[in-house]
Structures are given as C-alpha cells and as structure tokens.
A and B are shown apart, each in its own frame.
Chain A
C-alpha cells in the first residue's frame, strides 16, 4: 500500500484556488456535460488559454458556434437509448465524428469521406447509434485524424447503466463499480507549432512527423487551471475542471480517457485505485463476474483512443498515525475503524497467539505487524473503555497471528468472547515533532495543521486555499516533463485531489 505523507503534499507551492467559492448541498459529485439523447454539435475554430499566458488556436466541437470548447462537450446518455448527434461544420476542412465501440453507427448527410460521412459548411451530418452498453467512451474526428484530433476534435461519452440511480450510482451496474463521486480525467497534449501554422492557414507546412508537444491537459485545462471551477467565465472555451474531492471512506470513480496520441502514466498519490474496466468493458472472466479480473495500480496508462475506469478510496488505513489528531479518549469518526471483529474464544492476558476470522485475515497485511485495539463488548468503542488494550498483530501462518500485548502504556488483560478488536490508528500519535513555523515553506493548501479538519496558525498571507482543513494530494502525469506549460514549471497534466473531513459537502 503506497501512502504519501499528506503534510508533505500540502506544502506544494501553488498560489491560487477558485474551487470553494460556492458549493451546493449535492452529495455526490457528478461529471458535468450534456445530458439527453439528441445533440447538436458545431465544429468550428476558437482559442483556448494556457496558464503561462498563451492563447492557442484550436478546432473544437461546441453546442453552438459561440461555445466551441476543448475538449468537446461530454455527452451523458443512458444505456439502451438511441443517440443522435447532428454535426454542423464551420471549418475549412471536411470534418466528422467517430464513436468507437458503439456498434453500428449510421451517418446521414454530408459527403462521403475516407472513414465516414463528413460535414462541410451548410451540409450537416447526423450520426446515430444505440448506446447498448454502459461505460466510459471517447468520440473523435474521423477526418484527417492526425490533424483534427490534434486540433481538439474529441470528447468524452458516458453511458449510464439502465438501472442508474443518482442516489446510489454505479458505472456498470455491477456492485464493484459503485461509487460516491465521479470525476473525468480526459488526457491530451498539444504541439503549439501545428496550431500556429493552422491559425495562419499554412496547412501544407504542417509536418506530422515533427510532432513535439509542449502543452499537456486534463479535461482541456493545464494546471493550475485544472483546479478552477467548472464553467469559469475566464476560461470560456475550456469549461471542464478536474478537482477531485472526497471524504475518508468514500469511493471515487475515475474515468480516464486517452484522447491525444501519447501515452501518459497518470499517477495518483494517496492510495492505489482498483482498475475495473478498460475501453468500456468491465474486467470480467465471464459475463456477470463483477469485475473479478480487476487489479490495483497507482499509475494508470491508458492507450491513446482508449479509456480506463478505476475506483479510488482513501481512508488512511496503515498510515501509522491518527490523522484526525485524536487522543485515545476522543470519540471516533465514521470509517475510522478499518476492520473490526469479535473475539470468538477467551483471550487470557498471557496468551500470545490469536486466530482471526478468515475474511479479516485476508484483509490484513501479509508481512507487517498491525496495530489493534481491544475493548469490552459492554462499551461503545475504545474511547469509552478505560480497560482497552493496544496490541500488535503479526501474521504467523494462515489465520493465526502472534499478538504482542499491552502496548502504548496499556496492560495485557483477559478478554471474553464477543469483545471487540479493531485494526485502527485511533489515538495513535503523529510521529513527527512539527518544526517551528519559521522553518517551514508554506503552500496555499496547508491548513496550518497536519490533522484532517483542523486549522492552525499561519503566517500572514499563507494558506487560504484549504478552507476545510483537507489533505491535498498531487495527481499528475508521472512523465514529469508533462508537468509544464510550454517549458514553465509547474503546470501541465496535473491537479490536486482533496480528502476533506467527514461531513464536508462534496459538489
């Protein structure tokens, strides 16, 4: 289990934040986009801005000619629906739409192109298909794809399962794909020289074999714009942000799309994620197997033109200290106890071995000792039980663990069947003596405290981007070169993921 020190991450020096200016009472974060079954696209040119101050000419799709956007609108449809998209074009070149993986797509109108029907000014094309299976998909231009995809003619298509329930959503209908919040990570890159030549109409000077990207995007924005709100009015043609947030114990669905041509090792701090689907198909050994071929990764590389779905969770397990800053007698937070079970036979004070239920044993670390607290069944939790005992469990063989008794100032006691034992860091001290303030370089995301939901004193002008005392983890392309904006660090394919204190509204 990879676990970064959140206090280290929050010191990352980014200097502004827009996200928390307004938030509603929506419980589940949802990907924004166009919902429905019948859509109209206009393909036209426009400009996007990059954080180092450039303005780049693009071609994109928009719901109308004024709202051309990079990437195109995220289409959100329902499984089983017939979907139609009418494409109008104001571009100098014929253009089109491909919907990979949507079975038989019919295209009517326009003129016949190499791969599909193409739209030209005054001659729209209507594409239609039945969204037969749920999942995360991509659409892109099928006309000179090397050029038009580069210019920005691509977007995300999300097909919600037929039994989709916004209060208890899943990506694929099966339990393994259930989630609390979903976020889009549509990755792309850009060679500014190609865009400049296109802007000046010097198309024949564009050399595809000299391709050299200098911008990298998540959902069409480079960091730190990735963290500005959706539909920020100062980014009129880049409406989608990427500011993933969650609280401990929740599940976050990551919908990753390889929209550009390069492979990006998308790396997330904080925990591994379970990869559950590729290219809109659950990783199953057979239909209905609930993603039994899913696997854990902390870097996901999605094939260009492909998609990946992963479930990310963060509950601080095995962090090794209580990130709430609790003392042992404090009440516990929801999700704080990672694994709790009942002792099934008497455990006298001198016994140094314990049998753990098979399901729990499977979930405990293989090679490391884990900290547990034992308390009496007559108490609500360890915080109310003065007789609690802190122990270490160390796997011996199978479900048999060595139990090291009476840790952290507690003494070994006799416990009875039905008493509780939990793997937990509740009340375990922060392992570091915090340096004096004058020895710390602050960042906007540091709340002044290493504990979740706490805020501490900060020097004037520091902090301010972390109103709830959350933990901020950098999520980014692990090809570090891609974390720049036209040679200026930091930026590019990067954003911050926030773990907020329990009870925080996540929009």
Chain B
C-alpha cells in the first residue's frame, strides 16, 4: 500500500466522521419532544359530590413555573411524526419520591433500593421538593399508543393517578407507518378507576406501615372513569368525527382489573396491541382490555348519532342506580 492511497482513505474516513457528527447533533438539537411534568396533589369531584383526593401529573411551561393543571389521567404526551426522542423534566410536589417509565419504550433503568435491599423504584427517583428537574430521556421511541406512569411505590402511586398516554407517530404521520389501515380521525380513550378509601387514607397520612391502612391489599375501586370522567346524566359526548370515516380509538387501560369495552353495539377492528401493529385486524364486538394494555381500534359509523361506549364488565355505577361509571357517548357528526 502506498502513501497516496493511505491518505485518500484517511480523508474519506474523516469526511464520514464529520458527516456522522453533524447528523447526530442535528438529531439531538432540533428534533425531540420535551415536556415539563410535575407530580402533585389535587381533588376531583365525583358524581355523588365526593371530593376524591388524587395524585396526578401537570404540564408546566418550564421547571418551577407550576402553571399546569394537575389532571388524572395526566396530560397527553405527543411526539411529531418520525420523532424518536422524548425528554421529560420532572418536578415533584408530592411528599414521596416519584419517577417515570413507559412500558414498551426502552430507556436505561436505574433502580433504587431500600437499605434492606427491597426495590423501591424501578428507575431513578425525583425527590420531593426538588430544586432541579430530574430528566427522563428516551432516545428510541417506537410509534404507537403507550401508558406513561410512575415507576416508584407503584402499588400506591399508579392507582392514585400518576399515569397518562403517550402517542408517538410513524414518519408518514400514521399510527404505525407502512401497513397501518387508513383512518381519518383519532381519539384517545383512557379507562381508569379509584378506591375512595385508599385515596382518602393516602391524603390524610393514615396510609403506610404501622398506620390504620397498611397496604393496598383491600383495593376495591368505587369510581370508574373514561378519560377521567365518571358518567353523569347530561355529560357531553366525546366527538369522534363525521359518519363514514374510519376513526382510530387509542384505548389504554389504567385500571387494576380487566375491562371488556363495547363500542356502540358495533364491530370494531383492533389493528394494534401494546404498540405493535397486527398482521390481521381483529373484528370484534368486545375489546378485552387487561390492566396496562393498550389497543388501537378502528371504528366507523355510517350514520350520525350518539353511540354508547361502556364497560361490559358492568363497572357502570359508583354505588347503586344513577350512573357514575365507565360509560360515555361517542358522537358522530353534528
């Protein structure tokens, strides 16, 4: 090998390295979804007038601004089509450490253990009253519908309300890219529930080791929600779009039990599950939703109207007659 060809090779390598660096830095600087989330307490009014204490996430404009509203479920996190980077700066106004994870999305986990070795948090914690944000970063986000949630003290924190939806889209703007059935509109449907006794004990400081309520072993939910609302008469419907349009329902089950969702007595087509596109959509009347499951389902109605969406496991009241459960109307047209 002579010197000339060696030089040529080195120059080529150098150009390649510079190109790679440029690509990498572009990727980092311009193209990432960035959120400032804050975990905090709130109260939600139930259909029977009860104030349900909850823990939820709020979307702030910057760290410390505390200008977001705490909601259960938390704010929807969305990525632009093709974007694969998600950065969440977490603030913690609760009295115990919280954290974030997204089942189905890969990021390095840094578990935290108690002195006795028992695991306390599946990844690094954000301490209460933190002065600096703790950053949670995902560099390889897959398109799809996912649940984000606290990864700390999960028996308590998940059922208190520290969860929400993450929606990532493929580069072509569709749900999963090539092979995604065509759809015109989309709607998020989050199923959740709450046990008043546990929420009250947590809020009053009577929950925990040595206190009047020691654990969540007697968990029994009383309130059942679609998108955070327990149905009451006259509640506005969920507008899903015009007739004769394929509508993608992104369904997330944040309950601790399985739900069987029926969509207006009509067939739906489940096209994806847990963020994975199915080879063959499943045509069903019932959408079986185990806890922690997400399904992407296409519905289409050929007429205008109100179509009931409800849990066929019949979590349809907070107690007796009068509603207050996992029920909503989907409105087509108007």
B300-334 CB mask vs A (1 if < 8 Å, else 0) is: 00010000101011111111110001000000000
Q: Are A99 and B265 in contact (CB under 8 A)?
A: yes
Stretch at the interface among A10-18, A177-185, A277-285, A375-383: A277-285
B213 at the interface (CB under 8 A from A): no
Q: Which segment of B22-30, B38-46, B141-149, B276-284 sits at the interface?
A: B276-284
Rounded to whole angstroms, the CA-CA distance of A304 and B262 in the bound complex is: 10
Q: Is B69 an interface residue (CB 8 A)?
A: no
Q: How far is the CA of A107 from the CA of B306 in the complex (A)?
A: 15
Q: Are A204's CB and B316's CB within 8 A?
A: no
Verify if B185 is at the interface (C-beta below 8 Å from A).
no
Chain B residue at minimal CB-CB distance from A105? B265
Query: CB distance B280 to A261 under 8 Å?
Result: no
Q: List chain B residues, Cβ under 8 A from A149.
A: 314
A102: chain B residues within 8 A (beta carbon): 265
A305 to B320, CA, bound (A): 21
* Chain B interface helix/strand/loop/mixed: loop
Question: Quick check: B282 and A278 within 8 Å, CB to CB?
Answer: yes
CA distance A304 to B266 in the complex (A): 15
Residues of chain A in range 101-157 having any CB-CB distance to chain B below 8 Å: 101-105, 114-115, 142, 144-147, 149-150
Checking A103, A205, A304 against B312 with a beta-carbon cut-off of 8 angstroms, the contacting residue is A304
A306→B285 contact, CB < 8 A: yes
Indicate if A206 sits at the interface (CB-CB under 8 A).
yes
Interface residues of A in 81-105 (CB under 8 A from B): 98-105
Q: Does B113 contact A (CB under 8 A)?
A: no
Contact of B265 with A101 in the complex, beta carbons under 8 Å: yes
Q: Report chain A residues within 8 Å CB of B316.
A: 144-146, 208
Is B321 a contact of A144 with CB atoms below 8 Å? yes
User: A209 and B267 in contact (CB under 8 A), knowing A104-B303, A285-B280?
Assistant: no
CB proximity of B270 to chain A, nearest CB, Å: 11
| Contact of B320 with A150 in the complex, beta carbons under 8 Å | no
* Most chain B CB inside 10 Å of its own CB: which residue of A145, A146, A278: A146
Max chain A Cβ within 10 angstroms of own Cβ: one of B221, B279, B283, B320 = B320
State in angstroms the CA–CA spacing of A102 and B267 once bound together: 9
**A281 CA / B269 CA spacing, docked (Å):** 11
| Chain B residues whose C-beta falls within 8 Å of the C-beta of A103 in the assembled complex | 266
How long is the Cα–Cα vector from A144 to B308 in the complex, in angstroms?
13
By the criterion of a CB under 8 Å from any partner CB, how many residues of chain B are at the interface?
A: 33
Partner of A303, one of B221, B288, B319: B288
Interface presence of A27 (CB below 8 A)? no
Q: Is the CB–CB distance between A209 and B284 below 8 Å?
A: no
B260, CB-defined interface residue at 8 Å = yes
Residues of B within 8 A of A281 (CB): 267, 283-284
Mask of B263-301 contacts with A, CB within 8 angstroms, 1/0: 001110000000000011011111110000000000000
Residue on B with the closest CB to A293? B280
B285 near A101: Cβ-Cβ < 8 Å: yes
Q: Which of B258, B267, B287, B314 contacts A101 (CB 8 A)?
A: B267
User: Which residues of chain B are within 8 angstroms of A208 by Cβ–Cβ distance?
Assistant: 314-317, 319-320, 325
Assess whether A305 is in contact with B321, with CB atoms less than 8 Å apart. no
Contact A203 B320 (CB under 8 A): yes
Cα separation A102 to B282 with both chains bound (whole Å) = 17
Contact A304 B319 (CB under 8 A): no
Q: Check A146 against B317 for contact (C-beta < 8 Å).
A: yes
Min Cβ gap B329→A in Å is 9
- Kindly list chain B residues whose C-beta atoms are within 8 Å of the C-beta of A105: 265
Query: Is B222 engaged at the interface, CB distance under 8 Å to the other chain?
Result: yes
Q: Indicate whether A261 sits within 8 Å of B285 (C-beta atoms), given known contacts A205-B320, A207-B319, A209-B222.
A: no
A262 in contact (CB, < 8 A):
yes
**A301, closest chain B residue (CB):** B288
The residues of A with any CB-CB pair to B shorter than 8 Å are 98-105, 114-115, 142, 144-147, 149-150, 203-211, 258, 261-263, 278-281, 285, 293, 303-306
A-B contact pairs, 19 of them (CB 8 A): A101-B266, A101-B267, A104-B303, A144-B321, A145-B314, A145-B316, A203-B320, A204-B321, A207-B319, A208-B325, A209-B220, A261-B313, A262-B313, A279-B267, A280-B285, A281-B283, A303-B260, A303-B287, A303-B312
